[in-house]
Amino acid sequence: MEEESIKGNFIKNIITEDIAKGINGGRVMTRFPPEPNGYLHMGHAKSICLNFGVAKDFNGRCNLRFDDTNPSREYQKYIDSIIFDVQWLGFDWGEKICYASDYFDQLHEYAVELIKKGRAYVCSLDGDQIREYRGTLTKPGRESPDRDRPMEENLDLFERMGKGEFQDGAYVLRAKIEMASPNINMRDPVLYRIKNISHPRTGSKWCIYPMYDFTHGISDALEGITHSLCTLEFQDHRPLYDWLLDEVSVPCHPRQIEFARMNLNYTVMSKRKLQQLVEKGIVDGWDDPRLPTLAGIRRRGYTPEAVRNFCNIIGVGKKENRIDVGILENAIREDLNEKAPRAMAVVNPLKVTIENWEDGRTESLEALNHPQNPDMGTRSILFSRNLYIEREDFMESPPKKFFRLGPGREVRLRYAYFITCTRVIKDENGVITELICTFDPATRGGDAPDGRKVKGTLHWVSEEGSVPAKVHLYDRLFTTEDPEADTHDFTQNVNPDSLIKITGARVEKGLADALPGEAFQFERLGYFCLDSKLSSPGLPLFNRTVTLRDTWAKVSKKGNTV
RNA sequence: UGGGGCGUCGUCAAGCGGUAAGACACAGGAUUUUGAUUCCUGCAUUCGGAGGUUCGAAUCCUCCCGCCCCAGCCA
């Protein structure tokens, strides 16, 4: 079955070595540190599974910590949605949620400590000047004129910054490291900036807020984190992370380890790009089922188990990667194949009249809820003279390998009878509107006593035993594997058929009582779930989570069918 | 062209000096009242390239090539 933890990887190897060396007394503590400025997506899921998974594997713990140091773009609604998502994924952060803002007092003290040690100073250069003084990738930076400001003056200025005496941008607190460092992060990085704005959690207590680099390492240390896992772009920050923890009197010195973020093909993963899709109305909100946001895939019908398993399977390394969505699709199929009860639904109905079935007569037939799992029981489905089959399951002049219905052909209706098509009715435009068929009473349940075989089995629904429904068929959001490649505007690559809205579907009557999010396999079509937002009692809406593996589609696409 | 990383099958990914795991994908075949599931079988003489060390290298050394990241008072 399912493995609940990330398999062997370089991070676990490092931790195993650290434990062997007796570092941290064998204790392992990680953290998942989202900034509450957007919704979580699959990339975060990887990090969540990694951090919580590693902690679990080593009998440690993992904190959920909000990195809320920039109140100008962080909001409570994101905090709420992130908490919900992490919970949904199935992880437990213990007794309390952590917030970097809870450490603002201590952070401030550590800043003062740095100033007193002569390792930080208040700089009055403005943004442009700081950038100019910083130098470039190939040219060293120049020292700020304020770099040697006396310690008392720094202390005084920093205190007044905190009291709100200055405008935004008037001063910043900077670490005094090395302006000629080849690592730009070490060129006297800004530690604190003035932002006369209130914070979602600390209100108006502060008007100076600590920067990421200063906050993160110290927060890690205060929480007793042993291994601080982050993405590759922070590799250049590690020297600063270590410098800070060495200079300040924190209780411990966590080890930062960087891993590659996940990319999925046929989609985009960055908050900024996702936001564009939402804002331009290309998708319908952050929980649009086509998006790789956790809210989106949840609504699409993905289960936490499948997501966790997926994160497991893809592993973790330091190589840039672009995972094939097929792996994700396989994960959800694997999970739903086992869990989802089967049902019949006709997405694109074609009317079928059984001419030798008495008008008005209905019959109850028994159907398995899961062919491989008898424990899931049976249900009864209604057969009658008036049926619907999938329009795609009939061809007037079928190729040899087409096992479905055609004029004069006999097929089985699942759990019902063998039927033979005797006549095709068309409208004035030549469009097929109805099929006239006969059924064989001896084949009740789907077996022929004379042993004759039939190549195809079709799903169906009867007029009396079904209700109308809406169905949303989703496909990949983009037509190219890497939507961001070779274009200035990735939205040009949006797949126009990524959502097909079907209004005239018919589903088994029992499905009318489905619960929001409840998953089913519509036989021969795929896995579907009741939409949690747009479904109404009288007209259920089902989202297609993923299609079934379809060998026929492959064969017919190859063109060897005609 | 400064610094930091990365390069093992189509896509991920194990491997840590002893002679290339696994997953997905793909290709065959068996079973099948879902062309589903399940089940077999096949799928890197080779690890970015070239040298070198060694009885032996994807693993060690050297050089080269390619790709990614960094110049926010964002994280």
- One domain, residues A29 and A122: yes
Please state whether beta strands A172-175 and A190-194 pair in parallel, antiparallel, or not at all (unpaired): antiparallel
| CA distances, A286 to each of A411, A455, A476 (Å) | 44, 44, 16
Return the percentage of chain A with pLDDT > 90, whole number. Answer: 96
pLDDT interval class at A488 (50, 70, 90) = confident
According to the model, what pLDDT value does residue A8 have?
Answer: 77
Å separating the CA of residue A227 from the C1' of nucleotide B16? 22
- One domain, residues A433 and A535: no
Separation CA A548–CA A337 (nearest Å):
9
- One domain, residues A102 and A172: yes
Separation CA A171–CA A532 (nearest Å):
49
The DSSP symbol for A511 reads G
User: Which two structure tokens, joined as six digits, stand for A51?
Assistant: 């951090």
Separation CA A510–CA A493 (nearest Å):
40
- Return the closest nucleotide (C1') to the Cα of A183: B3
A261 classed as catalytic: yes
- One domain, residues A288 and A377: no
| CA distances, A434 to each of A73, A389, A430, A467, A504 (Å) | 58, 10, 11, 19, 16
Average pLDDT of the residues in A112-128? 98
Kindly name the residue from A31, A65, A187, A261 that is annotated as catalytic.
Answer: A261
Å separating the CA of residue A368 from the C1' of nucleotide B3? 64
Domain boundary among A211, A228, A259: A259
Residue at minimum CA to C1' distance from nucleotide B13: A315
Give SS3 for A538: coil
- One domain, residues A30 and A71: yes
Angle at A435 between CA A431 and CA A441, to 5 degrees: 170
A163 classed as catalytic: no
Whether the pLDDT of residue A313 is over 50: the answer is: yes
According to the model, what pLDDT value does residue A557 have?
Answer: 79
- Does residue A194 sit within a domain? yes
Q: Which nucleotides of B are covered by protein (CB under 7 A)?
A: 1-8, 10-16, 22-27, 33-38, 67-75
- Return the closest nucleotide (C1') to the Cα of A443: B33
Separation CA A30–CA A41 (nearest Å):
20
Average pLDDT of the residues in A369-398? 97
- One domain, residues A225 and A275: no
- One domain, residues A128 and A227: yes
Condensed to tens digits (0 to 9), the pLDDT of residues A505-516 reads: 999 999 999 999
Separation CA A308–CA A48 (nearest Å):
9
User: With a cut of 0.95, is the ipTM above it?
Assistant: yes
Domain count, chain A: 3
Domain boundary among A396, A431, A464: A464
Å separating the CA of residue A212 from the C1' of nucleotide B20? 43
According to the model, what pLDDT value does residue A559 have?
Answer: 64
Condensed to tens digits (0 to 9), the pLDDT of residues A156-206 reads: 999 999 999 999 999 999 999 999 999 999 999 999 999 999 999 999 999
Q: Are A343 and A520 in contact (CB under 8 A)?
A: yes
Kindly name the residue from A4, A35, A159, A392 that is annotated as catalytic.
Answer: A35
Other CB atoms within 10 A of residue A496 CB: 8
- Does residue A29 sit within a domain? yes
Residue at minimum CA to C1' distance from nucleotide B11: A324
- Does residue A74 sit within a domain? yes
- Return the closest nucleotide (C1') to the Cα of A13: B16
Å separating the CA of residue A11 from the C1' of nucleotide B56? 30
- One domain, residues A460 and A476: no
| CA distances, A12 to each of A25, A199, A276, A496, A546 (Å) | 16, 37, 36, 43, 33
Å separating the CA of residue A551 from the C1' of nucleotide B29? 15
Amino acid identity, position A228? S
Å separating the CA of residue A459 from the C1' of nucleotide B12? 36
- Does residue A545 sit within a domain? yes
Domain that holds residue A386: 342-464
Kindly name the residue from A27, A147, A195, A271 that is annotated as catalytic.
Answer: A271
- Return the closest nucleotide (C1') to the Cα of A481: B11
In the block, which residue shows the tokens 């030798």? A356
Whether the pLDDT of residue A5 is over 80: the answer is: no
- Return the closest nucleotide (C1') to the Cα of A126: B73
Whether the pLDDT of residue A2 is over 70: the answer is: no
- One domain, residues A359 and A392: yes
The candidate with the shortest Cα–Cα distance to A443, out of A370, A365, A344, is A365
Residue at minimum CA to C1' distance from nucleotide B68: A320
> A278: domain CATH number?
2.40.240.10
Condensed to tens digits (0 to 9), the pLDDT of residues A40-62 reads: 999 999 999 999 999 999 999 99
- One domain, residues A489 and A476: yes
- Does residue A90 sit within a domain? yes
The DSSP annotation for A86-114 comes to: HHHHT----S--EEGGGGHHHHHHHHHHH
Positive or negative torsion for Cα A312, A33, A287, A499: negative
- Does residue A2 sit within a domain? no
Domain boundary among A405, A437, A464: A464
- One domain, residues A329 and A346: no
| Sheet with strand A386-390: strands edge to edge | A457-458, A410-413, A418-426, A432-439, A349-354, A386-390, A460-462
Amino acid identity, position A283? V
- Does residue A264 sit within a domain? no
Q: Are A54 and A48 in contact (CB under 8 A)?
A: no
- Can you give the C-alpha Rg of chain A in angstroms? 31
pLDDT interval class at A3 (50, 70, 90) = very low
- Does residue A363 sit within a domain? yes
Other CB atoms within 10 A of residue A428 CB: 5
- One domain, residues A383 and A519: no
